[in-house]
A = this chain, B = another copy of it.
């Protein structure tokens, strides 16, 4: 870092969120706009990136000078098509500066809409793992009947061991209790049949482990199937990062195609067109509910610090929601609570 960090003596409760303001498909603009929206909602933000560009972008938003937003210089940025492993040597990359701000206690969380692999690598290298967690996972929410289903891992680990499932179930359970006020959240293991003996060899092994830890920090429901995710059969669905990533992208892709078909169906005859006009508002509400921007970003859970990873295509609303979620997770004292849960278990 070339500049002195601006929040050296910050109060823990009002610690700002560090935003990798150069990350994502559209660079600074949606990041800065999202930061302005979040700051207006009361969240302090550190914009990490090219100082000149970020100040210029901030200048486009009337009244932004009065908001709790500061700029922290980072001279490099890891592009969407570059290698995640670049994180090791490119110490001045914006994502590395952001995670270091968290490590040094100058920011409450790091948020990035940039290169997902680089964000994971930077968070893991800089912040390390929570004791008892072998591999961090990406935790996300999917809209479901009656609210949302929490799904993990959605892509950090394509190859897994049975022990990971139980660690992730424990992490997600603490998360829902602490951040979402869910009492004793239920955990389902994604499989290909509800019966205990259904699944791959690995899933059967994970099932036995989860069964064994049931009642000790994990409220294990048993196996769930693909259809249960949208039915919200359990609060949490735990799976490997390969299956979880396929699920996430399928769910988003299907919603998009289905809504496209609904739109098409409503523009057929004069009669359906007229009906379409009348129902447009109601359907828009539904489309919003399915929009990934609603949740903003996914949490990299299992590292010793808060790190959120969003879509490269994130808009200002997604950035704002990600910053709000990050601040909420910090206020809930999530990381110390996660650490305590694993210490209790080890006893």
Write the residues of chain A forming the contact surface with B, with a CB cutoff of 8 angstroms: 144-145, 155, 158-159, 190-192, 198-201, 203, 225-231, 239, 241-243, 245-258, 260-262, 265-266, 268-269, 271-272, 274-279, 281-283, 285-286, 289-290
- Per DSSP, chain A at the interface is helix
Query: Residues of B contacting A245 with CB < 8 Å?
Result: 192, 225-226
Complex Cα distance, B211 from A208, in Å, reads 38
Q: Which 10 A-B pairs have the closest CB atoms?
A: A275-B278, A227-B253, A226-B249, A226-B250, A275-B279, A265-B282, A192-B245, A158-B200, A230-B257, A226-B246
A189 to B191, CA, bound (A): 21
| A248 vs B193: C-alpha distance when bound (angstroms) | 12
B242:A265 contact, CB within 8 angstroms: no
Q: Could you list some 24 contacts between A and B, CB below 8 A?
A: A144-B257, A145-B260, A155-B192, A192-B242, A192-B246, A200-B242, A225-B249, A226-B250, A226-B251, A227-B253, A250-B250, A250-B251, A251-B254, A254-B255, A254-B258, A258-B290, A261-B286, A261-B289, A262-B286, A265-B279, A265-B286, A268-B282, A269-B282, A275-B275
Kindly provide the distance from the CB of A40 to the nearest chain B CB, expressed in whole angstroms. Answer: 30
Q: A232 — nearest CB in chain B belongs to which residue?
A: B257
Would you call A258 and B258 a contact (CB within 8 A)?
Answer: yes
Question: How distant is the Cα of A82 from the Cα of B278 in the complex, in angstroms?
Answer: 51
| Copies assembled | 2
- Of B198, B230, B246, B286, which is within 8 A of A254 by CB? B230
A203→B242 contact, CB < 8 A: yes
Question: In the bound complex, do residue B249 and residue A246 qualify as a contact, i.e. CB atoms below 8 Å apart?
Answer: no
Contact of A228 with B253 at beta-carbon distance under 8 Å, contacts A266-B279, A272-B282 already known = yes
- Among residues of B, the one whose C-beta sits closest to the C-beta of A158 is B200
How far does the alpha carbon of A250 sit from the alpha carbon of B261 in the complex, in Å?
Answer: 18
Q: How far is the CB of A288 from chain B (nearest CB, A)?
A: 11
A200 to B158 Cα, complex, angstroms? 5
Across the interface, do A192 and B241 meet the contact criterion of CB distance under 8 Å?
A: yes
What residues on B are CB-neighbors of A285 within 8 Å? 265
Name the residue among A145, A203, A231, A250 with the largest chain B CB count within 10 angstroms: A250
Q: Chain B residue with minimal CB distance to A268?
A: B282
Nearest CB on B from A71, distance (A): 33
Counting chain B CB atoms within 10 Å of each CB, the highest count among A226, A262, A277, A281 belongs to A226
- In angstroms, Cα B152 to Cα A77, docked, is 41
Whole-angstrom CA separation of A242 from B225 in the bound complex = 10
Nearest CB of B to A35, in Å: 29
| Residues from chain B with Cβ under 8 Å of A258 in the complex | 230, 254-255, 258, 290
In the complex, what residues of B have CB within 8 A of residue A191's CB? 242
A190: contacting residue among B246, B254, B277, B282, CB under 8 A: B246
Extra contacts, 15 of them, besides A230-B253, A230-B256, A275-B278 (Cβ < 8 A), are: A192-B241, A225-B245, A225-B253, A226-B247, A226-B251, A227-B250, A227-B253, A231-B253, A250-B250, A254-B258, A261-B289, A262-B286, A268-B282, A271-B278, A279-B279
Across-interface contacts of A251 in B (CB, < 8 A): 226, 250, 254
Contact B275 A277 (CB under 8 A): yes
Asked if A226 and B248 make an inter-chain contact with CB atoms under 8 angstroms apart, the answer reads: yes
Contacts of A249 in B (CB 8 A): 225-227
The CA-CA distance from A76 to B252 in the complex, in Å, is 45
